[in-house]
Amino acid sequence: MIIDTNTQGAPLLPADSGKPSSASALSPDEVEALCKSGCFVLDLRRASSFGEAHIPGSYHVDFINSAALNWIGVAVPPGERLVLILPPDKTFADLATELHRIGFDQLEGWLDGGIEAWSASGRETASLPRITATELRERLALPNPPTLIDVRRPDEFNAARIDGAINLPFDHFVELETCPVPTDMDVVVVCQSGFRASIAGSILLAQGCERIHLLDGGMIAWQN
């Protein structure tokens, strides 16, 4: 798997505590209640798992490594309360320590049983589908092609881009309060490898956008 070299963020701060004492395993009922009270759901599973099924409105950061978590600050304002969806190979204590290092201390807990428990409770899930470079080329050649939103930095965008793409740099996404494109429009989100696009796609969905897709493999796949 190709890993976006831009996953490295600001240096991590030292941690002086681990798991907050008030955090706990949460049932789907409790997670739903917390969402209604204004909590953010932060899904830290792999991008492919998030794309298949996730809690509607949740934000996604693929926990590739500790540095990748620094991108949470671009998606979620500091000081917000968080409910976590854990990767299968990590415990809440592992993630609480990492999140504390980057200033996220308001951790309510984690969804016990993960997305499977959410689905088993009869609750709705959302998806974030991917489109291959070949499929995108075919779609762009047809009438009513999808809108392309490239979330890379302006210097990356200027160096190489897909014709017709709109540059909406990733670091502007935390400022979004509504969907920036018509909700009846097909949109494909593009970055260098797919890492940033998955975060951006989850934010767009949370802001009410509906027909969002990711370019699988990003510009690396497009150029190969």
Query: What is residue 21's predicted lDDT score, i.e. its pLDDT?
Result: 46
Please tell me the pTM assigned to this model. Answer: 0.86
User: What are the pLDDT digits (tens) for 131-151?
Assistant: 999 999 999 999 999 999 999
Q: Please provide the average confidence, as pLDDT, over all residues in the chain.
A: 87
Neighbours of 159 (CB within 10 A): 10
When comparing pLDDT for 66 and 98, which is higher?
98
Average pLDDT over residues 194-221: 94
Rounded to whole angstroms, how far apart are CA atoms 101 and 69?
A: 10
Q: Is the pLDDT of residue 2 over 50?
A: no
Rounded to whole angstroms, how far apart are CA atoms 170 and 89?
A: 28
Query: What is residue 101's predicted lDDT score, i.e. its pLDDT?
Result: 86
Rounded to whole angstroms, how far apart are CA atoms 180 and 151?
A: 13
Query: What is residue 22's predicted lDDT score, i.e. its pLDDT?
Result: 60
Strand duo 24-26 + 107-111: pairing: parallel
Query: What is residue 23's predicted lDDT score, i.e. its pLDDT?
Result: 75
Rounded to whole angstroms, how far apart are CA atoms 16 and 136?
A: 47
Rounded to whole angstroms, how far apart are CA atoms 19 and 12?
A: 17
User: What are the pLDDT digits (tens) for 29-58?
Assistant: 999 999 999 999 999 999 999 999 999 999
Percent of the chain scored above 90 by pLDDT? 68
Query: Domains of the chain, with CATH numbers?
Result: 5-120 (3.40.250.10), 130-223 (3.40.250.10)
User: What are the pLDDT digits (tens) for 149-187?
Assistant: 999 999 999 999 999 999 999 888 777 778 888 888 899
Q: What are phi and psi of 27, to 5 degrees?
A: -80, 165
For residue 59, give Cα distances in angstroms to 9, 41, 127, 195, 197. Answer: 18, 6, 12, 13, 12
When comparing pLDDT for 112 and 7, which is higher?
112
Tokens of 151: 């979330």
Among residues 204, 156, 171, which one has the least CA distance to residue 73? 171
